[in-house]
Amino acid sequence: MNEEVLFTVTKDSLETGLRGVPVGYCVTSSVHPENGLFYAGRPINEICSWEPEKVIDLLFRGREGREEEVTAFAHELKKRAPLDIRVGEAIDRLPREGHPMALFSAALLILGMFEQTGDYREDALHLIAKAPEVAARVIHRHAGWGKTPLPDLNAGYMESFFHLLQVPEKKESLKEVLQLFNVLHYDHGGGNLSAFVGKAVASGLEDLFGSLAAAMNALAGPRHGRANQECLHFVEESLESLGASASSEEVEHYIRERLSRKELIYGFGHAVLRVEDPRATLQYSLAQKEYGDHPLVRMALLIREAGTKVLKENPKINNPYPNVDAISGSLLTAAGFPYPEYYTVLFGLSRVVGIAIQIVYERCEAREGKGTPIVRPKYLYKKREI
Ligand code: MLT
């Protein structure tokens, strides 16, 4: 029996979103307040330029795969990629009203109706392999961009998504940005809301597709995955108010004014991190290198400096640094994907990877293979004062 005390629950820990309360193990990734994100023990900046298949293999395996293992894994994903024709047809008939994340979540349920085996591990591989076409179809259906082409079975995982995505006036350089975005968003520890929700739903023995659809509904909230869309609007608004040649002093003044009006500054802070999110740092570098002259990128870089400076002055703010969403929308726009409504679908396309693998661990491996029990925390009764 291991009785080490990891956390003491007091009344002050209640109604805090379980902040800091350990509830289990995560075998895929971890988030350190100062050092950021690690996939299977490797810092994200060490592996962000690997091929997506190699990173997914790392998350599945928990160690770097040997060359022949990664090749076999990539082949396995390719083999599983084609969608049952009925899945494609059903996605192409989904209602177009509402946010695209509603369609993405519905599309995962449809995938489960036709392609589920009932084995979590098999279904996780199926889902990950098919997710690029599902996401592309959802975007095309919602945007009205016409038919989704057939997958290119010779292309790599994200190359295939790039091929499937029918963006008007598509630029070749978008491929690099989509790939980096995809690799950076696979996983973020065990306790982010969508991973936690997906595992909680799976703990009732809901199948993998239903659990992932629930996880995607969690990701769709503006405090979680949809923050990337809101952040771009903030950068756009700042640009509109200050103009393309704004100075750093003007941006700082603008931020102070917003704060004095109690308006939000988007793209800063994180529940765990206490430094700039390394996923943001990597995207800032690419943005600066490739699209430094783009007005949105220039503004996002000015906000990075000014926002941090101003927020740091408030001792109540425990993380005054940019998070992953601060720059992703500006980078995607500069690279030729100026469609913020779909940014959370891109996040979802990536995050299904980490959540699916975490569910496989909890259902098939945890507690010597017995799996974790149904999630059932305790709530204390409180009489409401009316
Ligand atoms: C994420 O990538 O899931 C977000 O940074 C939120 C989180 O980690 O809680």
- State the 10-residue block means of pLDDT for the chain, 386 residues long: 88 96 97 98 98 98 98 97 97 97 98 97 98 98 94 93 94 97 98 98 98 98 96 98 98 98 96 98 98 98 98 96 98 98 98 99 98 98 92
Cβ atoms within 10 Å, residue 68: 8
Q: Do 123 and 207 touch, CB atoms closer than 8 A?
A: yes
Q: Is 270 a catalytic residue?
A: yes
CA 63 – CA 41 distance, rounded (Å): 8
Task: Tell me the CATH number for domain 30-224+342-365.
Answer: 1.10.580.10
Model pTM above 0.95: yes
How far apart are alpha carbons 172 and 158 in whole angstroms? 13
Which helix (H) or strand (E) segment holds residue 229: the answer is helix 227-242
Minimal-distance CA residue to ligand 1 atom 6: 192
Q: Identify the DSSP state of 366.
A: T
* Domain limits, the chain: 30-224+342-365, 227-334
pLDDT at 1: 62
- With beta carbons less than 8 A apart as the criterion, state whether 230 and 344 touch: no
List, in order, residues 6 or more apart from 27 with CB less than 8 Å away: 62, 357, 358, 361, 365
- Rounded Cα distance between 343 and 262, Å, is 27
Give the list of residues 6+ apart from residue 46 with CB closer than 8 angstroms, or none: none
**Residue 324 beta carbon below 6 angstroms from any ligand 1 atom:** yes
Q: Does the CB atom of residue 271 touch ligand 1 within 6 A?
A: yes
**C-beta of 349 in contact with ligand 1 (< 6 A):** no
CB 214 within 8 A of CB 380: no
Torsion of CA 238, 240, 245, 246, to 10 degrees: -30
Ligand 1: nearest atom to the Cα of 195: 3
Is residue 224 among the annotated active site residues? yes
Domain spanning 227-334 has what CATH number?
1.10.230.10
